[in-house]
Amino acid sequence: MKLQDELYTIVEINDKVARIRLLPECAIYQGHFPGNPVTPGVCQVGIVEELAGDICGFGLRLKEVKLLKYIDIFRPVTDDVEVSFDKLEEEGDVVITKGALRSGGRVFTKFSLVFGKEA
């Protein structure tokens, strides 16, 4: 499932940072959890995967989780969310990422993920 335009929209994107806006009316939030929505961890990884692929210019698929630390509950916030890539490098047939999801001075998630290039 493509999350862009269903769970979030891109406000701005460059080679190291993407600003997105979560869409609280998304069906995912209706089931996780009604009245007290939380962005599922798998969706957070999916957001990173899609944005890293947009920056690189090709599709990616998760290959390895080096670090995935959920620091704060990631709800559909009213402020834009920043997905920052401290590292986003192609190494052979993989893309190595490291960064964080944050908004309003709060860090929600830190990640270090390895993606394979889609064929």
CATH code, domain carrying 71: 3.10.129.10
Q: What was the pLDDT predicted at 97? A: 98
pLDDT at 47 exceeding the cut of 90: yes
CB of 3 within 8 A of CB of 52?
Answer: no
Mean pLDDT, range 31-60, rounded to an integer? 95
Q: What is the pLDDT of residue 10?
A: 98
Q: Residue 76 above 80 pLDDT?
A: yes
85: preceding bond cis by omega (within 30 degrees): no
Is 102 within a domain? yes
- What is the structure's pLDDT at 77? 82
Report the pLDDT averaged over residues 20-29: 95
Total domains in the fold of the chain: 1
Q: Is residue 2 part of a domain?
A: no
* pLDDT score of 75 more than 80: yes
Instruction: Report how far residue 91's alpha carbon sits from residue 110's, in angstroms, rounded to the nearest whole number.
Output: 21
Parent domain of 106: 8-117
- Considering the domain boundaries, does residue 81 fall inside one? yes
Closest CA to 37 of 48, 22, 53, 24: 24
Q: Among 52-56, 75-79, 96-100, which stretch is predicted with the lowest mean pLDDT?
A: 75-79
Position 3 in a domain: no
Q: What is the pLDDT of residue 32?
A: 87
- Residue 1, in any domain of the structure: no
Q: Would you say residue 79 lies in a domain?
A: yes
Whether residue 96 lies inside any domain: the answer is yes
Radius of gyration of the chain (CA): 14
pLDDT (mean) for 75-85: 94
User: Is residue 76 in some structural domain?
Assistant: yes
Average pLDDT over residues 85-104: 97
Q: How far is CA 52 from CA 9, 45, 57, 74, 106, in A?
A: 14, 10, 8, 20, 21
